[in-house]
Structure 1
Amino acid sequence: MKKSMIVCMLMVLTTVGAMAQKFALIDMEYILKNIPAYEMTNEQLGQLSQKWQNEVEAIQQEAQNMYKTYQSDLVFLSAEMKSKREEEIIKKEQEAQDLKRQYFGPEGELYKRRESLVKPIQDEIYNAIKEISENQGYQLVLDRGSAMSVLYASPKIDISNEVLVKLGYSK
């Protein structure tokens, strides 16, 4: 009877031990800051964004100048000329809005460019995390920065530096 009880207790402890899950944390922001290619990509995207923003602002400024000129000439214009100028101003404002949407919209050029430049880096990080997780038996890896419900996490389970080492950016 005692032997069967001991065997049962060992089986329960073994089952509980087998069900124990290993967790790990990463700090994606920390990892990305330590990858020079990501920093260069961000810089390129910033310059491109500024260039496109300047283009949009130039057209908006042109529309404002057209409106100011229209306001000052309003007294001298015939009804036909007024409507023609108003249409030109509206067309210029619409051109600025269309260009802004083309560059910065949800499916705009900046989004597409960011995706094409950043996605390979993110995929590389994901593959490194996956490999480390499989090698060390982690069932769950959370990003410390985006996991808003993580109030405290031990630094012992943070594998960010291991990911950087795996990517070739030793820390």
Structure 2
Amino acid sequence: MKTALFFVFLCSIWVTIPAQAQKFGYVDTEYILGKMPEYQKALSEIDKFADKWSKDIQDKYVEIEKLQKAYQAEEILLTEDMKRDRQRTISDREREARDYNNKVFGYQGLLFEKKKELMKTPMELIYRALDKVCAQKKLDFIFDKASDFVMLYTNPRHDYSDYVMEELGLDTKPTATNSNPTNKTTTKPK
């Protein structure tokens, strides 16, 4: 009997406590990053590094091609030992070029590390602005529309991207390429 009364007492307390709804929203970090000068600068730096590394790799393959042509031109005149040495040199250079390519552009290679380093500043700025906006708007959850998390529908009233952009001091007005041409009226010919 006591346990039943205790259960009724707990239920009555639980019913009287007001339910608090959790507030959520979303932002589009891809849109925000596109407006950030720090992001544009980081992309430019990443492209410079990628171009430099690509040229280095291309130079290695040009050198290999020269070695192969020289070998083919002199092959008739070479002894078997000389042929093996030249082939080994060419194979070593090809392996070095492949290894360097993997080191730069492979999984978690130099380019990946450079991207991570250069993107740190713009992302930290966004995270700080998100923290402030979430505190100001009393948000419990914030999602990223640009992430791999699939959002099948988003109500624009829950979009806090403009607030984050304001916090970052960015222009929130859409650019000419982003403007919506649906406000134009068209008439049908009779």
Same fold flag (TM > 0.5): yes
* CA–CA distance in structure 2, aligned partners of residues 149 and 110 of structure 1: 28
Aligned to 1:156: 157
Task: Report SS of the residue matched to 1:138.
Answer: coil
Q: In 2, Cα distance between the equivalents of 1:73 and 1:15?
A: 90
Report the equivalent of 1:15.
18
Q: Which runs of 5+ in 2 are unaligned?
A: 1-10, 173-190
Instruction: Report the equivalent of 2:55.
Output: 54
Identity of aligned residues (%): 29
Secondary structure of 2:136 counterpart: helix
Q: How does 1:96-115 map to 2 (within 5 A)?
A: 96-115=97-116
Counterpart of 2:140 in structure 1 is: 139
Q: What letter is aligned with 2:18?
A: T
Displaced runs of 4+ in structure 1, greater than 4 A? 11-14
Once residues 162 and 15 of structure 2 are traced to their aligned partners in structure 1, the CA distance between those partners, rounded to angstroms, is 36
Q: Distance in 2 between matches of 1:70 and 1:15?
A: 85
SS for the counterpart of 1:141 is strand
Task: Structure 1: give runs of 5+ residues left out of the alignment.
Answer: 1-7
What is the aligned residue count?
161
Deviation at 1:120, TM superposition (A): 1.7
Structure 1 residue 148, shift from structure 2 partner: 4.0
Output aligned runs, 1:20-169, within 5 Å.
20-169=21-170
Counterpart of 1:15, as a letter, is P
| Residue-by-residue CA offset, 1:24-66 (whole Å, 9 max, x unaligned) | 1111100000001111110121022111101101101211221
Richer in helix (by share): 1
Query: How big is the shift at 1:77?
Result: 1.8
How much does 1:161 deviate?
Answer: 1.0
Contact kept, 8 Å, 2:35 with 2:171, in 1: the verdict is no
Distance 2:18 2:171 in 1: 38
Q: Is the contact between residue 29 and residue 161 of structure 2 (CA under 8 Å) also seen in structure 1?
A: yes
Q: 1:139, 1:89 → 2: CA distance?
A: 61
d(CA) in 2 for partners of 1:115 and 1:148?
A: 21
